[in-house]
Structure 1
Amino acid sequence: MSSPSWPPTLTPEQISALTTLATTYALSHGLLYLPPGAPQPPAPTSAIHAPLSLLPSPFPRALFDHAHKIASIYNVLYARIAMDWAFLDDVMGAERGAGQVDAFVGELWRGWKSIRDDYPQPLHLGLFRSDYLLHTSDGDGGAPPSLKQVEFNTISSSFGALSERAAALHRYLLAATSSYFGASPGVLKPDNFPPNETTRGLAEGLATAHAAYGNPDASILFVVQPGERNVFDQRWLEYELLERHHIRVLRQTLSDLSASASLSPTTHALLLHPSHPPSPPTEISVVYFRAGYTPSDFPHPATYTARLLLERSRAIKCPSLPLQLAGAKKVQQVLTLPGVLERFLQPPHPGKTYRDDELADLRAGWMGMWALDDDGGVDRARKEADGLVLKPQREGGGNNVYRSSIPGFLDALPREEHKAWIAMELIRPPDGAGNYLVRAGGNGNGNGNGDGDGGGGAVKADVVSELGVFGWALFGAGVGEEEEAGGVKEATAGWLLRTKGRESDEGGVAAGFSVLDSVVLVD
C-alpha cells in the first residue's frame, strides 16, 4: 500500500469542523442508531448517529477489485453447500457433526431434518457478506499485504444500507472541505472513492425472490430482534423495496410470529394474521431473517416452533435452515481440507464449474484452520496459541477466544465440546493506519486526542479495517440452466468497511467494537 501515513495531519480546528459536518450529515441522511439503554415505545422518539470515521481508510485497489472478482464464486459455492444435505449432515448434523455438542446448532439441524423430506419450497435466497482483512506475513521482506478471509456470513448480513450512507458521508466531506482541506491530495480525490449502491443491490436480491414466488400482492417479512437498535439499516431496505419494487414489508419478532403466523392447509402459504380482525391475513413471499442466529433470539420453546413453521411454509427463506447451517465456522474450516472445494466447484458437479486457478484464488485468501475434535488439534492449539483465535458456531460478535486466553479456555472446555470449536491462524493487519473515530456520547472533545469530557468528539486511534463484500443468490430447482439439479442466479451487491481500534480483537459494529467507514483506493 503506497499511501502516505494515515490519517493526514489536520489541525484541532479542522477536526472539530469535520466532526460537526459529519455528525450533522449522518443525522440528516439516516446514518442512525436508536440510542442505547432508552426505553423503546412502539414508535421511536429519538435517534443518534451511528459510530463513524471522519476519513475514509486507504485500501489497495487491486485487493478491493479482487474481493469483488471472487464474490460470484462464493455466491455459487455456498448455494451448492446448502443443497448438499449429505455434506451438511456430516459436518453440522446432530448425529455426526458439530450439532452433537452444540445445542443450538443441533436444535436447528433436527428441526430441518424433521421436515426436509416434504419441503414445500425448493427455492432458497441468500444475502451474503464475505469479510476480509489485510494480512502481512513474517519475513515477507516488505512485500505488499494480501487479502485474507475472516468469515462468510449467510444470515443477517447487516450494515449494507448504512455502509452506503457512510461512503456518501465521506464523499460529502471531500466536497464540503475542498478535498479535506487539501490534505493528502494524491489520495483524497474523487476518483479514489468507489461507488457504493449496496441498498439497491440487496433489495434486488429480495425483489428477485419475491418475483420468483409468483404472487405480486404478497409481502416480504423481516424477522427482527426485539429492541433492535440497528433498525435504520433495515428500514432503508424496506423503503427501497417499496419505492423501487412496489413490495410491502412487514416486521415481526419470532415471539410475535408464534401468535400471528399460520400456514394455509392447502397451499402451505405463510399467512400473517392482524392483531385486530376482521382484516384479512397477509401472504408472505420471502422471509428475511435479521434474527435467529443466536440462542438468545429463542427465549422460549414457542419461538423454535415459529422458526420451524416458517421453514415449513411455501415462502422463500433468506436464509433457509440449510443455508444458515452452511455459514457455520465448522463449514469454513472443512472447506480448507483437500478435495472439499472441488466437490462443489469442479466436475463431476453438474452445474457450472471453475478452473484450478479460480479455486486457487479462493484458497489463497484462507488462513490455516483445523478442528479441535481430536487430541492433536487441541495440542497444536495450545502450542500455537499466541498466533490463534478459537471460533465457535456463533454469529454476532464477541464469541471468540484469542491468544493467551486459549490455554486456560481449553483447560476448562469439556472434552465432548471440542467438536463445536475450530482453530484459525490470526490475520496480522499491517501497522501504521490510523483514523478519527466518532461515537455518539463517546470520549473526546474534538481535538483528536481522545482526552475530552464525553461530549462525543473525534478520537484519534491506531486502527484496523475490515472489508465486507455483499452478494446474493437465488437457488434451487427451477433456477437457471440447471433446473433439475438446482441452479444458481446470483450477483454482487456492494461493500462495507468497518474500522476498529487496533487493541480490539472483535470487530462488530452492533457489538460496540467498530465504526462504519468507507474505502479510499490506493495503488
Structure 2
Amino acid sequence: MPLNSLPPWPPSLPSSAHLQHLQTLAVTHALAHGFTHLPANPSDPPTHATAAPLSLFPSPFPRHLFELATEIQTVYNALYARIALDWGFLDRVMGGVAKVDSFQGELWRGWKAVREELVQPLQLGIFRSDYLLHSLSSLAPLELKQVEFNTISSSFGALSQKASETHRYLAKETDMFFDSSPYLSTFDNYPLNDALTSIAQGLAEGWAAYGRKDAVVLFVVQDGERNVFDQWALQYELMERHGIKTVRHTFSELDNLVQFDRNSKRIYLPDPLADLVQPREVAVIYYRSAYTPTDYPGPGEWSTRLLLERSRAIKCPSMALQLAGAKKVQQVLTEPGVLEDFLLSPDRPDVGFGKGAGAFTQEDVDNIRKTWIGLWPMDNSEAGQEGYRLAMTQSSRFVLKPQREGGGNNIYRSDIPQELKRLEQQQHQQQQYGARDVMPREAYILMELITPPDGVGNWLVRGGDNKARKADVVSELGVFGVALFGPEGVVNREAGFLMRTKGRESDEGGVAIGISSIDSPVLVDVV
C-alpha cells in the first residue's frame, strides 16, 4: 500500500542490549572493510584509524524520487560539460563574480590566461548532484530539490559504497535488523551502490584515452587530509582492477617535483622510491583539493595549478569545469531560457554522449527544472533587487551562499540581514576609495531553504564513539556521475550514490567536518 509520507523511523529494537550488539556488528564490519578515516593529528606514517561516522540503519527514501535522481544524472553530466565548453558564458557569469570574490577571480583570470594554450581537448568530470527531500506541509507531496552540483573533489564515493555494503551485511546477519521493519525485510529496497568501482572506472577511462600505458594518475591532495581511505580505496581499485599506478602529492610538493616538457606539454614526476628510475608521465590529474582558498596559501600554488592546466594530462576537473560548478552558475541556469539553450539548442557541442544535437527533449528540461528551488542573484538587477528585499524581510525562508565548496560557509535565516548590512558597509568604504562598480553582495546567491519531512530519526555512530546517538535527522542524497568529453562525448553515466544523514539541529552537512554520518537509502513507496 503506497504511503503519503515517510514511515516512522528508526525501527524499534527489543532492548538496549540488542542496540549495542547491532552497533558492535556495524562498527566491526566498517573497520574490517576500510570504512575509516584518520584521527585528528595522525602520525606519519599513520599507525591507527577510526571508523568513519555511520548511521546504524539505512534511511527511508522515496523510490520514485531516487529513480528520478539517478535517471537525470546523465542529463546533468551533459549540461555541465556544455557549460565548461562555453567560454563566453563562463566569462559573462564569472566576470561579475571576479570583482567581488578574490578566489573565484584568481581562478577565472588564471584560466583566461592559459586557455588559448591548451593542448588537451578532453576533460574528465567526476560529479555529484546533491538533493534533499522537500515538502511544505504534511499534505503536500514529497519533492526532490537540488542543494548543489559539485564538479570538483566529489568525495565519499568509496565510503558510500562501503556503507551500503555494511547495511546489507546487517540485514543478512541479524534477524532483528531484517525483521525490525517490512522495508528492511526485502533486498529489493536496498539499491546496489557501485560508486567506488564506477568512479575508478571513470579515472581508468581517462587514463586509457590519454594513450600511454606507462603513465600514472596523479591525486592532488590536501595537507592534513583525514579522509585518506576514501581516496586510497580508489587508488587500490585502479591498481587491482585496471593495473594503473597512482601517485599522491600536495600542491606544495608539486611545486618542487613537477617536470614540464615545454615541447610536448607532457608532465613527469620522479619515482619516490628510486631516484635513478625514469620519471613517470602523468596521464590524469585528479583533484581532491584545489577548491578552497586555503589550498592556495601563496603564488606558488597558483603557478603550479596553471602549469598543470597547460599540460597534456587530462584534468579532473579542468579549471573551466571547476568554474562551471560555481554557485553563481547554478543560479544563472534557473533564469528563463538558459537551461533550454544548453540542452535544446542544435548549435551546442555534441556532448550528448550518444544523443546527437537535438536529442535532449523538453521532458529532460522539465525533469531538471523540477529539482530546482528558488534562487536569486544578489546584484543590482531587477531579480537581484527582489532577492535583496526577500532576504531582508523574509530571511527565515532563505540561505545566503558564497562561491565556496566544502561546508561551513553558508549564512542562514536571521543572520542574513546582518551579513547584508555588513556587506553594504564594506561597499560604502570601497566606494570612498573609488571602487564605484563593486557590490560585495554579488559574491553570494540567495537560495530558498529546502524543507525536509519531519518524523524521521536514526541512530548515528560517530567515529571513535562507543555509543550510538538517536536523533531526528535529515538525509541528503548525492548522485555521482562520470563524464569524459571534449567537442564530442566519450563517456557519460551515472556512477553510484552517497547518502549523508545529520541531526536536524544542524544546517551544515559535511562528513569531513564532523557533522554528518554516511548512510544508505532503503527505498519506500510514497505518493
Q: TM-score category by the smaller chain?
A: over 0.9
Does residue 103 of structure 2 align to residue 104 of structure 1?
yes
Q: Which string of whole-angstrom CA distances, capped at 9 and with x for unpartnered residues, describes residues 491-520 of structure 1? A: 111001000000000111011110000011
Gaps of at least 5 residues in structure 2 are: 351-356, 428-438
The answer on whether the counterparts of 2:378 and 2:446 sit within 8 Å (CA) in structure 1 is yes
Measured after TM superposition, the shift of residue 357 of structure 1 is: 1.9
Q: Which position in structure 1 is the counterpart of 2:125?
A: 126
Q: 1:434 aligns with which of 447, 457, 469?
A: 457
Could you list the per-position Cα deviations for residues 65-90 of structure 1 after superposition, in whole angstroms to 9, with x for gaps in the alignment?
01011001000000000000000001
CA contact (8 A) 2:171 2:184 kept: no
Given residue 323 of structure 2, which amino acid in structure 1 is its aligned partner? L
Letter in 2 for 1:261: V
Partner of 1:142: 139
CA contact (8 A) 2:183 2:522 kept: no
Matched, 1:507 2:506: no
Deviation at 1:373, TM superposition (A): 1.1
Q: How does 1:167-206 map to 2 (within 5 A)?
A: 167-178=164-175, 180=177, 182-206=179-203
Give how far 1:274 is off. Answer: 4.2
Displacement of 1:408 in angstroms is: 0.8
Structure 1 residue 384, shift from structure 2 partner: 2.0
Counterpart residue type for residue 379 of structure 2: D
Q: Is 2:378 aligned against 1:372?
A: yes
Q: Tell me the residue number matched to 1:450.
A: none
* CA distance in structure 2 between the aligned counterparts of 1:186 and 1:274, rounded to whole angstroms: 51
Q: Which moved more, 1:268-277 or 1:383-392?
A: 268-277
Provide the rounded CA distance (Å) in 2 between the counterparts of 1:143 and 1:412: 38
Residue 495 of structure 2 aligns to a residue in which SS? strand
**CA pair 186-466 structure 1, distance change in 2 beyond 3 A:** closer
**Residues 354-365 of structure 1 aligned to structure 2 (within 5 Å):** 354-365=360-371
Contact 1:134/1:146 (CA < 8 Å) preserved in 2? yes
* 1:299 CA drift (Å): 1.5
State percent identity of aligned pairs: 56
- Larger displacement relative to structure 2 (113-122 or 344-353): 344-353
Mapped pair 1:390 → 2:400: yes
How far apart, in 1, do the equivalents of 2:363 and 2:7 lie? 33
Partners of 1:260 and 1:274 within 8 A in 2: no
- What amino acid does structure 1 have at the position aligned with 2:154? S
SS of the equivalent of 1:497 reads strand
Task: Kindly indicate whether the alpha-carbon contact (under 8 Å) linking 2:7 and 2:60 is maintained by their aligned counterparts in 1.
Answer: no
Matched ranges for 1:177-326 at <5 A: 177-178=174-175, 180=177, 182-274=179-271, 277-326=275-324
1:339 — aligned with what? 337
Map of 1:448 onto structure 2: none
Residue segments in structure 1 that go unaligned for 5+ positions in a row: 443-455, 478-485
**Which among 440, 445, 448 is matched to residue 417 of structure 1?**
440
Q: Deviations over 1:363-388 (max 9, x none)?
A: 11100001111244322211121000
- 2:112 is aligned to 113
Counterpart in the other structure of 1:31 = 35
What's the CA shift for 1:179? 5.2
Q: Could you tell me how far 1:4 is from its partner in structure 2?
A: 3.1
SS at match of 1:342: helix
Q: TM-score, normalised by structure 1?
A: 0.92
Structure 1, 285-294 or 382-391: larger mean CA deviation: 382-391
Q: Which portions of structure 1, spanning 4 or more consecutive aligned residues, are displaced by more than 4 angstroms?
A: none
Local SS of the residue matching 1:440: coil
The residue aligned with 2:431 is none
Match of 1:58 in 2: 60
Give secondary structure in 2 for the equivalent of 1:287: strand
- Show the counterpart of 2:410: 400
Instruction: Tell me the equivalent position of 2:430.
Output: none
Question: Equivalents in 1 of 2:374, 2:27: separation in Å?
Answer: 41
CA distance in 2, matches of 1:173, 1:405: 42
Contact 1:194-1:520 within 8 A present in 2 as well = yes
Q: Which shows bigger deviation, 318-327 or 174-183? A: 174-183
**What is the aligned partner in structure 1 of residue 476 from structure 2?**
466
Instruction: Count matched residues.
Output: 495
Distance of aligned partners of 1:80 and 1:181 in 2 relative to their CA distance in 1, 3 Å threshold: closer
Q: What is the rounded CA distance, in whole Å, between the counterparts of 2:130 and 2:503 in structure 1?
A: 17
Instruction: Say whether the 8 Å CA contact 2:476–2:499 is kept in structure 1.
Output: yes
When the two chains are superposed, the root-mean-square deviation of aligned CA atoms in Å is 1.4
Give the secondary-structure state (helix, strand or coil) at the position aligned to 2:192.
coil
